[in-house]
Chain A
Amino acid sequence: QLQLQESGPGLVKPSETLSLTCTVSGGSISSSSYYWGWIRQPPGKGLEWIGSIYYSGSTYYNPSLKSRVTISVDTSKNQFSLKLSSVTAADTAVYYCARDNYPFDPWGQGTLVTVSS
Chain B
Amino acid sequence: QSALTQPASVSGSPGQSITISCTGTSSDVGGYNYVSWYQQHPGKAPKLMIYDVSKRPSGVSNRFSGSKSGNTASLTISGLQAEDEADYYCCSYAGSRVFGGGTKLTVL
Interface residues of A (CB under 8 A from B): 37, 39, 46-49, 52, 60-64, 96, 100, 102-110
Question: What per-residue 1/0 map shows which CB atoms of B19-57 lie under 8 Å from chain A?
Answer: 000000000000000101010000001111001100001
Q: How far is the CA of A103 from the CA of B54 in the complex (A)?
A: 12
Q: How far is the CA of A101 from the CA of B97 in the complex (A)?
A: 11
Inter-subunit contact A48/B45 (CB<8 Å): no
Q: Is the interface of B mostly helix, strand, loop or mixed?
A: strand
Which residues in B have their C-beta under 8 angstroms from that of A100?
A: 97
Tell me how many residue pairs across A and B have CB atoms closer than 8 Å.
61
Partner of A49 from the list B48, B51, B98 (CB cut-off 8 Å) is B98
Inter-subunit contact B97/A49 (CB<8 Å): yes
**Known contacts A47-B102, A103-B91; is A110 also within 8 Å of B45 by CB?**
yes
